């Protein structure tokens, strides 16, 4: 068999296993999901599962890490010190989240049992600390509070948006988040949601 066929088969198997786990997470908590159930849903035998993943924890971590890596790529593409770039990056990131809505809702709902939300926060914190609001003159403790405030607020706004059916388009959400970050509540243009 050619390596191309093997690669396609490997990709397909991993895709089916990921989809099966996500479907199970719609019905039950992660602590109740077994490898046997994932394999039954995927119509794959357990030895095939173990050829790809150690257990269901590694499978879930792989799903989380793929999204986190995509986030890092979006965030590293833009210079967040430039307002236009920050807005473009936020819009691209929100559009990506919209495309991954189902996965993100599932992953954020199991976040008590997984590290997904923590990983998202760490990526955002690293990006903000490296080039956005933190300057050499900023007090280290103050900068920690600022980044925690910005990240927590942004994550919760995005969760509300995803769970609420994403009624507003990504560009409006990006504008809202960036205005809140850059200008606070009183400096924000509230006319963006007519």
60: closest CA among 24, 97, 8, 13?
24
**Topology given in CATH for the domain delimited by 1-53:** Arc Repressor Mutant, subunit A (1.10.10)
Give residue 194's pLDDT: 44
pLDDT tens digit string along 94-116?
A: 899 999 999 988 888 765 545 78
In angstroms, rounded to a whole number, what is the distance separating the alpha carbons of residues 128 and 161? 22
Q: What is the mean pLDDT of residues 154-176?
A: 89
In angstroms, rounded to a whole number, what is the distance separating the alpha carbons of residues 79 and 34? 43
Is pLDDT of 186 > 90? no
pLDDT tens digit string along 43-55?
A: 999 999 999 999 9
Give residue 185's pLDDT: 67
What's the sign of the alpha-carbon dihedral 66, 85, 192, 147?
positive
pTM: 0.78
pLDDT tens digit string along 132-160?
A: 555 555 566 777 787 788 888 888 898 89
Indicate the pLDDT class of residue 91, thresholds 50, 70 and 90.
confident
Q: Count of residues for the chain?
A: 194
Asked if 34 and 57 touch (Cβ cutoff 8 Å), the reply is no
* Cα distances (Å, whole numbers) of residue 174 to 7, 40, 84, 162: 37, 41, 11, 13
């Amino acid at each position: 068999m050619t390596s191309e066929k093997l690669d396609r088969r490997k990709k397909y198997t991993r895709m089916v296993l990921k989809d099966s786990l996500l479907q199970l997470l719609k019905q039950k908590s992660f602590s109740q999901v077994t490898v046997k159930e994932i394999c039954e849903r995927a119509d794959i035998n357990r030895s095939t599962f173990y050829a790809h993943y150690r257990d269901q924890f590694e499978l879930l971590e792989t799903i989380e890490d793929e999204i986190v890596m995509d986030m890092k790529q979006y965030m590293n593409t833009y210079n967040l010190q430039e307002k236009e770039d920050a807005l473009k990056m936020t819009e691209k990131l929100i559009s990506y989240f919209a495309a991954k809505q189902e996965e993100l809702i599932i992953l954020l709902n199991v976040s008590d049992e997984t590290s997904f939300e923590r990983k998202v926060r760490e990526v955002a914190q690293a990006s903000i600390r490296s080039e956005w609001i933190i300057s050499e003159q900023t007090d280290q403790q103050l900068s920690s509070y600022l980044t925690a405030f910005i990240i927590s607020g942004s994550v919760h706004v995005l969760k509300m948006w995803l769970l609420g059916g994403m009624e507003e388009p990504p560009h409006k959400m990006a504008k809202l988040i960036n205005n809140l970050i850059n200008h606070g509540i009183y400096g924000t243009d509230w006319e963006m949601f007519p």
